Amino acid sequence: MQGYRTYIAAGLVALFGALASTDWIAVLNDPKAGAVAVGSAALMAIMRSITSTPPGTA
């Protein structure tokens, strides 16, 4: 599939726009929601760096 990086970049820009336009404090009713999201992302990155198998395989 050619141009997949362009599709990924376009999807990320669209996702960022959707996330930026949402009032997350009102949605989650917690001002620490951003810190939780950053912590979750860091944990996902750490877990991915530890594993080497594709998702869904044991």
pLDDT at residue 48, as a whole number = 80
Report pLDDT digits (tens) over 34-51.
Answer: 788 888 889 988 888 888
pLDDT band at 55 (very low <50, low <70, confident <90, very high): low
Largest CA distance in the chain: 42
Mean pLDDT of 3-32: 82
pTM score: 0.48
Q: Hey, what are 5's tokens?
A: 């990086």
Residue reference for tokens 């404090």: 25
* Whole-number percent of the chain with pLDDT over 70: 90
Q: Is the pLDDT of residue 22 over 60?
A: yes
Other beta carbons within 10 Å of 28: 14
